[in-house]
């Protein structure tokens, strides 16, 4: 394949060269009425494609590790995610093995993994048992609105989307503060870590090189399916990559877009001022020199 052909490959334009070219997912199958799902679109997608039992029940640590490895998460990273997830929300398996298992519905418990300020779900409320589990299409449209003119969201866009969601969730909590089923808004350090780690998965696993296309968001959030042109990253997501990218997601939430633009504008203006002063100084020197020559 020539370099010209490679540049015209739509999948490469969208995901870059860090992808498994010959990878093909297991068939997609929508959940039946007896299946359970979670608030996590990645877990639901893995189940819908059969990398985890399609009913979403009795998932053990080994199964979850293998599933995560299949989609470009390094083994060590997969072990940490699987261990933490199952131990936080799962239960001991019947018998004397001492193994833990979890149903996807276990991940819906508010606090251990599920958190406020989701990019695609409403916050948990006791009087709305499943609204934090399923996609809110309005929130998906809102997330997509942060894309640039080419349809991509990067770290900065996702950070701004998260900040907007935090303001919305805080406002909703205030509006319902006197309701019978009112609950306090919660977004502590652990919840923030989970949220920013999820953003890393969005930008580096479902997307690539720190950006994700809106068409990928539509399949991943809207259908909970791998896009037809998607494949896992060739360079699996290591623990250092996960932690560094998660930190970046957190940091950029505190650098407003307007602030970044203002800094850039100030730098440009300073450059112009310095350049202008240099030109003016040179011009005066030249005029002085001419005057001396005439004298």
* The pLDDT of residue 286: 55
Quick check: 32 pLDDT over 50? yes
What's the whole-number average pLDDT of the chain? 88
Q: Which run of H or of E encompasses 211?
A: strand 211-213
- The dihedrals phi and psi of 190, each to the nearest 5 degrees, come to -65, -45
Q: How far apart are CA 246 and CA 189, in angstroms?
A: 12
Q: How many CB atoms lie within 10 A of CB 196?
A: 21
Please state the length of the chain: 295
Quick check: 264 pLDDT over 50? no
188-219 per-position pLDDT tens digit: 999 999 999 999 999 999 999 999 999 999 99
Residue, of 138 and 276, whose pLDDT is higher: 138
Q: Which two tokens stand for residue 53?
A: 């039992």
* The pLDDT of residue 263: 42
Q: How far apart are CA 105 and CA 38, in angstroms?
A: 5
* The pLDDT of residue 266: 47
Q: How far is CA 193 from CA 33, 140, 212, 262, in A?
A: 33, 21, 20, 29
Quick check: 261 pLDDT over 80? no
Quick check: 278 pLDDT over 70? no
Task: Give the predicted TM-score (pTM) of the model.
Answer: 0.83
Q: How far apart are CA 186 and CA 172, in angstroms?
A: 12
Residue, of 270 and 32, whose pLDDT is higher: 32
Which band of pLDDT confidence, cut at 50, 70 and 90, is reported for residue 70?
A: very high
* The pLDDT of residue 181: 73
Q: How far apart are CA 221 and CA 121, in angstroms?
A: 10
Q: How far apart are CA 234 and CA 20, in angstroms?
A: 5
Q: How far apart are CA 243 and CA 137, in angstroms?
A: 30
pLDDT above 90 covers a percentage of the chain that reads: 75
* The pLDDT of residue 258: 46
Q: Give me the domains of the chain, ranges plus CATH numbers.
A: 16-255 (1.10.489.10)
State the average pLDDT over residues 47-69: 97
Pairing of the two strands 152-154 and 100-102:
unpaired
86-108 per-position pLDDT tens digit: 999 999 887 667 789 999 999 99
Q: How far apart are CA 183 and CA 128, in angstroms?
A: 12
Which band of pLDDT confidence, cut at 50, 70 and 90, is reported for residue 178?
A: confident
């Amino acid at each position: 394949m020539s370099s010209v052909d490679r540049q015209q490959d739509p999948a490469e334009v969208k995901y870059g060269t860090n992808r498994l070219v010959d990878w093909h997912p297991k068939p997609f199958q929508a959940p039946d009425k007896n299946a359970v799902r979670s608030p996590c679109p990645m877990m639901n997608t893995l189940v819908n494609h059969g990398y985890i039992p399609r009913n979403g029940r009795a998932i053990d640590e080994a199964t979850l590790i293998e599933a995560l490895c299949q989609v470009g998460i390094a083994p060590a990273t997969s072990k940490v995610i699987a261990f933490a997830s199952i131990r936080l929300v799962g239960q001991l398996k019947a018998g004397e093995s001492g193994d833990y298992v979890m149903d996807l519905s276990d991940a819906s418990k508010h606090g251990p993994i599920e958190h406020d300020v989701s990019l695609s779900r409403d916050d948990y409320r006791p009087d709305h048992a499943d609204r934090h589990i399923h996609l809110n299409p309005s929130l998906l449209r809102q997330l997509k609105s942060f894309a640039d003119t080419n349809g991509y969201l990067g770290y900065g866009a996702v950070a701004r989307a998260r900040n907007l969601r935090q303001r919305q969730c805080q406002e909703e909590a205030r509006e319902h503060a006197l309701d019978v089923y009112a609950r306090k808004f919660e977004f502590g350090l652990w919840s923030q870590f989970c949220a920013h780690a999820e953003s890393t998965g969005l930008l580096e696993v479902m997307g690539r090189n720190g950006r994700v296309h809106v068409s990928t968001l539509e399949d991943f959030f809207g259908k909970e399916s791998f896009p037809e042109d998607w494949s896992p990253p060739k360079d699996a997501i290591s623990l250092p990559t996960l932690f560094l990218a998660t930190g970046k997601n957190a940091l950029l939430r505190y650098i407003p877009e307007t602030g970044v633009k203002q800094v850039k504008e100030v730098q440009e203006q300073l450059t112009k001022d310095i350049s202008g002063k240099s030109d003016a100084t040179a011009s005066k020197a030249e005029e002085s020199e001419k005057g001396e020559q005439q004298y």
